[in-house]
Structure 1
Amino acid sequence: MTVMMFAVQRRRNAGTRSGVVSANMARTPEEPSCTPRLGEITRAPLVAANLRHLGHGHASAPRLFAYRAVVNRTARRLRTVTSVAAAAGCLVVLAGCGGGASHAVSTPGASIGTSTDQALPKAILDLPFTDSTGKTVHLSDYAGKTIVISDTMTLCQETCPLDTATVVQTARDEDKAGMKNVVYLSITVDPTRDTTPQIAAYRKLYSPAPSNWLMLTGSTSNVNTLWMFFGVWRQKTTDSGTAPKNWRTGKPLTYDISHSDEVFFLDQHGHERFILEGPPVTKESEIPKTVYTFMSASGHKNVLKPATTAWTESQAREVLRWVNQV
């Protein structure tokens, strides 16, 4: 198991946030570009500082850990404290007015994830992606809805299957509970291999899939732009061992993509409000058999022996209820 340290050099311009990531590892020529595509609307990649697991597809690829930037997390924590204090004050006022405060959901604690409040720029909301039917969709298409965004890869063997399975189970359970104003978007970090047929086959494995859960892919440029904005770290790597085969096509895989694991919650006004990090607690029965068979020994261990810091479906649903009311 290899732990690789990342340094984040932040540059600040008037009215902008941007960042440059440097790592003590060699980058391959085919590595996904981390160059901001939209200049002033990008923000610093949230890497380096807080220990988190990275997901990747090959069993023999180096096990990496993600690090969120101290400066970013500190700023977020300060915003969280301020938000919690403000929310508490609002609850007191509502209680004093006798206005149904008992139904309010308080901000989920820092032990669950990170609270924030950042409006997504129009350029990000209008990025075009493609769903499993070939339809072009944009985040802006879901204005007025709560949006849950998770980074994923259909050929991941370690953590993505846990993330996706838990997001899908959350969608199913919340739909049964009557929460209809939510859309769940699992967006690839590997657009080259996650073609429309590939994500369609992956979604079919969850049949009957929730109607409000979409698998999305897109151009390399648009995918990189999206994940640069959200601070999802990605790096293309090679496999020195025996390459696994694509569970759909049977073709040997020639590379892997290491990446951080996050789930982002956007409110109905297009603001990023909460982030869950790392793989969750997931039941084997929630993962499609084809996917579970494709997973590596490390992936199976993540299911059978989840980390003590792993988030749960109940926590994701708690976050949803809070975001849905703000």
Structure 2
Amino acid sequence: MPSYYRLPEFSLTDQAGKSVTLRDLAGRVWVADFIFTSCGGTCPLITAKMRKLQEVLPPEIRLVSITVDPARDTPEILAAYAGEHGAAGDRWLFLTGDKQALYDLCVKGFKLPLDTEGGTAAEPIVHSTRFVLVDKRGEIRGYYSGIEEDELKRLAIDANRLS
């Protein structure tokens, strides 16, 4: 399995108001996605797929959903969203933080597209629907469609291989 990129250091805030850094996730395999809680487009779908991953992946694999709308998605809003979607405590993190830091992490760190100006009413922020598999050293090991079932199966196999 190839290693694509090493993630840069980051410091964000989870749904409980705690700081989360890349170092905090070191030593664990994790799956990341980018969402925002007011999204009426793809976010509910990929969040449902992430919940499915929570059910099928071993408990030591973390799930990390990162907002692309930090002005709206406070830790309290993310906590409510996590609860609505059955996120398991410390296993599935919802992260927010400084807007520029989040955008840089998405585009420069995860190498995913992000457009805050070209969206629609239902989805004013255009972002990737990909899940990103990150290994124990903070290196990106794969990109997977967050919508296609076959891709989720492949992600589960690859995540188990790394854990």
Instruction: Output the TM-score relative to the length of structure 2.
Output: 0.86
Identical aligned residues as a percent? 29
- Correspondence 1:171 to 2:54: yes
Q: Pick 1 or 2: higher relative contact order, CA cutoff 8 A, min separation 6.
A: 2
Q: Counterpart in 1 of 2:153?
A: 314
Structure 2: unaligned runs, 5 residues or longer = none
Cα distance in 2, alignment partners of residues 275 and 143 from structure 1:
19
Amino acid at match of 2:113: W
Q: Counterpart in 1 of 2:117?
A: 237
Q: Specify the structure having the higher radius of gyration (Cα).
A: 1
Find 2:6's aligned residue among 97, 113, 120: 120
Q: Which is further off, 313-322 or 156-165?
A: 313-322
Q: 2:119 touches 2:125 (CA, 8 Å); kept in 1?
A: no
- Correspondence 1:140 to 2:19: no
Cα distance in 2, alignment partners of residues 239 and 187 from structure 1:
18
1:237 counterpart SS class: coil
Structure 1 residue 221, shift from structure 2 partner: 1.6
Q: Counterpart in 1 of 2:14?
A: 131
Relative distance call for 1:267 and 1:238 in structure 2 (3 A) is closer
Amino acid at match of 1:264: V
Q: Counterpart in 1 of 2:143?
A: 275
Matches within 5 A, 1:293-308: none
Cα distance in 2, alignment partners of residues 159 and 272 from structure 1:
23
Matches within 5 A, 1:1-326: 107=1, 116-121=2-7, 124-125=8-9, 127-174=10-57, 179-207=58-86, 209-211=87-89, 212-229=91-108, 230-237=110-117, 256-277=124-145, 279-281=147-149, 311-324=150-163
Structure 1 residue 139, shift from structure 2 partner: 1.9
Structure 1: unaligned runs, 5 residues or longer = 1-106, 108-115, 245-254, 282-310
2:116 counterpart SS class: strand
Cα distance in 2, alignment partners of residues 133 and 198 from structure 1:
10
Relative distance call for 1:274 and 1:239 in structure 2 (3 A) is closer
Q: 1:117 touches 1:273 (CA, 8 Å); kept in 2?
A: yes
Relative distance call for 1:119 and 1:205 in structure 2 (3 A) is same
Q: 2:49 touches 2:147 (CA, 8 Å); kept in 1?
A: no
Kindly report structure 1 stretches of 4+ aligned residues shifted beyond 6 Å.
none
RMSD value over aligned CA atoms?
2.2
Q: 2:37 touches 2:81 (CA, 8 Å); kept in 1?
A: yes
Q: 1:263 touches 1:275 (CA, 8 Å); kept in 2?
A: yes
